Structure 1
Amino acid sequence: MLGLPAHVTACLFDLDGVLTQTAKVHNAAWKQTFDDFLRRRAAATGEQFRPFDPGPDYNRYVDGKPRADGVRSFLASRGVVLPEGDPDDPPEADTVNGVGNRKNVVLLERIHQDGVEVYPGSVTYLKAAVEAGLRRAVVSASANCGPVVAAAGLEPLLEARVDGLVARAEGLRGKPHPDTFLAGAARLGVEPAHAAVFEDAQAGVAAGRAGGFGYVIGVDRVGQADELRAHGADIVVTDLGELLDGGSTT
């Protein structure tokens, strides 16, 4: 009924792009932040300004990763290396953490202005998982996972949360490492082999495969089905509702 193997007793859901439509808000916040930084850098150095591409740049360097990893990864692709700084750096600081904190300021402004949208198919799937007695956790790199889950009205459907704040407090490596998903399974009291991972990011799918999880579902919102498969997805769908209605998968 849920499109999962019989041995799966728990579901570990990424948040942005799987349950909520905040991935596009994250993308827009990254673009604004990186473009502002690159524009200032070009003016100071005389280099040509090349804006952040919300397609390949977002999917390859940023999506699904902890904030600092995303900053470091994208800027490295442009030959830019910044000092790490401190996690509490002000958003004006030209450090890895400062740029990441600036992105967070922009993100919260956009969420406050526009609210949080959910994917209806994902909410239907969550409710079906509740009725089927499956354990359920959200696993996100975002430090804003809690407020977003609350704003989206998803708290009653989820039993546990592992997010960017938990990862920082417990020293968990971000995706594509499996640490956060393993922590999610542990919070639900299930072995990884009995848990399914639901991810829209290439890094997240790779984390699910690296952790030895029982089933890895890639959620293709942006036309990257082949890449999700290449990174370890067992199956790729465009919406979780497809798993309920027996529709075709890609």
Structure 2
Amino acid sequence: MEPYEGTLRYLHAVRAAGLATAIVSSSANTREVLRSIDAERLFDVRIDGVVARERGLPGKPRPDTYQAAARDLGVEPSRAAVFEDALAGMEAGRAGHFGYVVGVDRVGQADALRAHGADRVVKDLAELGGDA
């Protein structure tokens, strides 16, 4: 497993700035993936396939998993951002009334990410200041 180094730099910068973070994934092995790249400590909250199943949360494009993460962080969705690489995630961010939705274009679908609700599209989160 190779992490996206720019994304890790961005997460470290966000944490250093004192912002709370959550990871939302439909994967059942999110915890193991985070541990394998030494990134579990970068997130205050984890809503993954396991947690979603335990709580009965429907997945994307429904916003329920993102809204659960915001609730667990104690943040109103309108004051939170969603970072997502899937089109359904863009729709979920919009449907959940999140304040900002960032599309992460890993596969050349920038226009589609915008069409599905991204406020901004980047190729890597480092473009947002992760080198700080």
Give yes or no for TM over 0.5: yes
Per the alignment, in what secondary structure is the counterpart of residue 127 of structure 1? helix
Distance in 2 of aligned mates of 1:156 and 1:218: 23
**1:238 corresponds to:** 123
Secondary structure in 2 aligned to 1:203?
A: helix
The answer to whether residue 70 in structure 2 is matched with residue 185 in structure 1 is yes
Pairing 1:114-129 to 2, within 5 Å after superposition: 116-129=1-14
CA distance change for structure 1 residues 245 and 141 in 2, over 3 Å: closer, same or farther?
A: closer
Within the candidate set 124, 149, 152, 2:37 is matched to 152
Q: Deviations over 1:206-237 (max 9, x none)?
A: 10111000100000011100110111000000
Opposite residue 51 of structure 2, the aligned amino acid is: V
The correspondence of residues 222-237 of structure 1 with structure 2, limited to 5 A, is: 222-237=107-122
The answer to whether residue 81 in structure 2 is matched with residue 196 in structure 1 is: yes
**Distance (whole Å) between structure 1 residues aligned to residue 37 and residue 12 of structure 2:** 14
Residue by residue, what CA displacement relative to the aligned partner does 1:86-134 show, whole Å, maximum 9, x if unpaired? xxxxxxxxxxxxxxxxxxxxxxxxxxxxxx2110000000000011111
Query: Residue 214 of structure 1: which of 99, 102, 110 is its match?
Result: 99
The percent identity for this pair of structures is 60
Q: Where do 5+ consecutive residues of structure 1 fail to align?
A: 1-115
Which structure: larger Rg? Answer: 1
SS at structure 2 position matched to 1:208: helix
AA in 2 matched with 1:139: V
Instruction: Report what 1:143 is aligned to.
Output: 28
Letter in 1 for 2:48: D
1:140 Cα deviation after fit: 0.3
Q: Say how many residue pairs are matched.
A: 131
User: Is the Cα contact below 8 Å between 2:11 and 2:130 reproduced in 1?
Assistant: no
How big is the shift at 1:245?
7.0
Aligned amino acid, residue 86 of structure 2: A
Structure 2 unaligned segments of length 5 or more: list them.
Answer: none
4+ residue segments displaced more than 2 Å: none
Mapped to 1, the partners of 2:36 and 2:62 lie a distance apart of: 28
Alignment match, 2:19: 134
Which amino acid in structure 1 is aligned with residue 60 of structure 2? Answer: K
Give the secondary-structure state (helix, strand or coil) at the position aligned to 1:141.
Answer: coil
Give the superposed CA RMSD.
Answer: 1.2
**Cα distance in structure 2, aligned partners of 1:233 and 1:227:** 9
Amino acid at match of 2:64: D
Distance 1:169 1:194 in 2: 26
